[in-house]
Amino acid sequence: MRVADFFCGAGGFSEGFRQAGFDVCFAVDKWIPAVNTYLANKPQCNVILDNVISISKLPDEEFHTLVPDTEVIIGSPPCVAFSNSNKSGQGDKTLGIELIKAYLRIIARKKYKENSILRYWVLENVPNIKKYLQDQYSASDLGLTGDFSLKVINDSSGIYNAKYYGAPTNRKRFLCGEFPIPQKTNDENQIMSLRTVVESLGSPLDQEKEIIQDCNYPNFQLPRDEVTDHQYIYRLQPFEWKTAKRLKEDKGYMGKMSFPENLDNPARTVMANMSASSRESMILSANDGGYRLPTVREAASMMSFPIDYKFYGQSKGIKHTLVGNAVPPKMSYAIARAIAFDANETIPQGYIPIRHDATIPFLNLNYTEFEPKVEQPKRDVSKFKYHIPYMIINAYRVELTNYHSNFEKKKFRWNAEIHYSQGKDKAKVYRPRKVENQIPQKLKASIDQYIEQMRPCFCSYNFFQRIFCMTETQRKEQELIGPYELLEYVKKFIISSIPSEELSCNVKVSNKLPEVPMAILAGYHILDQITKEMGGSNNGCCYKKSKTGRVANQ
C-alpha cells in the first residue's frame, strides 16, 4: 500500500510505515533540514520542499498531478499553536487552524475524487487540538465545492501515549481520521525506561563499548563508530542547572519534577528545544558529578528512532528540533500495523536497516567539543517574581517581585506579596499593610534584630534592580545581595527562628486575609519591611559586608 506524508518533518511518522512494509512514495515539508533528513533516510520517496496550504489550494489538474493517489495519507501539522507550552495554551491559534484545514482539504480532495483509492488517513497532533476540531467538515467549511461531509472524529479518535506502543517516552498525542484502533504492545509493567536508553547507548565518552544494541529494535546493532550524534558531551554550567533545578523542584504552585531525570521512568516528552535552564529541561547526570543535556542520539532513541536514522541539521539545535517535532516511529508502526492487518497486508519480520542517500552532506556531532556557556547579564528592565525558596505551606507562598515597576521609564519598585494557590477561581494575592501585631513578641524581636543586622545591605530600588541584572559571578565577586540571595537568607532565618512544629500554625491577620501559616506571615513581614526601607533609599548606594566583617559603602 502506498503512503503520502504531509508536514513530514524528519520522517518519524513515515518511518513506522516503512518498517511495516508500506511504500512511502510522497512527502512534503517547507523546512529544508526536514526535507534533507527525510530524503536521506528514504531516498526512494519523492520528497518536495513546499507549503501544504498552497498545495491544498492548487487547481484540480495541477493538484492531482503533484499529489499521487495513495491508499494511506498521514499528516502531523505543526503543533506549536495548540501546545500548552505556548503561552500556557493561550497562543494565537489562527495559523494552526489554517494548517489543519489545509490538511483536511487535501484529504477531502483525494477521498471524494472520482475513482478514489484512499482508504485510510490519520491526523496526529497534541491533545489540546481536540478543542479546535469539528467532528465533521462540509465542503464549504474547507473552501471546496460539493455536498460531502468529511467525518474527522471517529471511533478510533482519541489520545494515545507512545509508551504503550514500545517507545520509551511518555508522549501523549491526539489521533483522528479513518484508521483501525492500534493495539497496545506494552502495559504499565512493560514500559521501557529512560535507563534502558541511556545504558544501551552507553556513556557518550565510553571508549570501551564497541557494539551498540538498539534498545528499540532488539535484532539490530551497529558498531559504536557508526552510531552518529552521540559521542560528545554538552556539559551544563552551574548557573544553567541551578536555574533548571529551582524551576523543577520549587516552581511555586506547580508540582515537583525530578532533578536530574528519573532514569527508572520513561523519558518525559522530548521537546524540540533542548533547553538547559527551564522547567522542561531534560537533564542527565554526568560521570564527573556534574550535569549534561542528552545527546541527539539519546533523544532520538527516546523517541524510538532506530540507531541508524540520521538527522541532517547543521547544528546541534537543528538536530534536536528535528527529533523533538517528530512522531515516534514505534507509535506510527502500531498504526501502520493495524492498517496492514485490516487490509490483509503482510508485515516484514524484524527491523529493516536504512539505506541512506550518500549524496546528501551530513554533519556528525561525534567528538565535537562544545564551549561552556557563559552567563550573561540580564537586560536592565528584566522582570523578577519568585517566592521564598522551598517554602510553600498550605498553598501559601511569599513572593518578592518588581512587577509593579515602571519599566518604560526605568523606575523600579520591589514589593512583597502573599500568594495563595493557582487558577482563575482560586488564586489570590494579598498585600496586608500591618501584620506585626499578629506575630508573637519573641519572634517579632528576633525579626527586628535580623532586619537591623541586614540594614547595611539595603539599597535603593534601582540599585537592587542593577544587582539583579548582574551575573551570579559578578554578585559574588562584589559580595552583593540580589533578590535570589535575599530570599535564601530570609528562608534560613525563618527556619532557624521558628520551631518546625510552628511553621504551619495558622494565624488570623484580618477580615480580608484568612488564616495564614506563621512562616508565611513572618516571611512577608520581613520582606515587606526590607522593601519599604529600600523605597526610602534615594541615594542609589548599596552596602556590603567586607571580608573583615566591616560595612563598606559601594
What is the set of active-site residues? 79
Other beta carbons within 10 angstroms of residue 276's beta carbon come to: 20
Q: Which amino acid is it at 447?
A: I
Number of helices and strands in the chain (H, E): 15, 21
Positive or negative: CA dihedral 343, 349, 353, 355: negative
Contact 252, 387 (CB under 8 A): yes
Q: How far apart are CA 40 and CA 337, in angstroms?
A: 24
Q: How far apart are CA 366 and CA 368, in angstroms?
A: 6
Task: Give the C-alpha distances (Å, rounded to integers) separating 132 from 79, 225, 404, 491.
Answer: 12, 46, 36, 45
Contact 530, 403 (CB under 8 A): no
Q: How far apart are CA 117 and CA 24, in angstroms?
A: 15
Beta pairing, strands 415-420 & 428-430: antiparallel
Other beta carbons within 10 angstroms of residue 250's beta carbon come to: 17
Coil, helix or strand at residue 314:
coil
DSSP string of 327-362, one letter each residue: PPHHHHHHHHHHHHHHTT----SS-------TTS--
Contact 510, 526 (CB under 8 A): no
Contact 395, 253 (CB under 8 A): yes
| Residue matched to cell numbers 490538511 | 103
What b-and-e string marks burial along 240-249, b requiring 16 or more CB atoms within 10 Å of the CB?
Answer: bbebbbbbbe
Angle (nearest 5°) at CA 450 between 473 and 499: 105
Please name the helix (run of DSSP H) or strand (run of DSSP E) that holds residue 122, with its range, or none: strand 120-125
Nearest alpha carbon to residue 69 among 121, 4, 138: 4
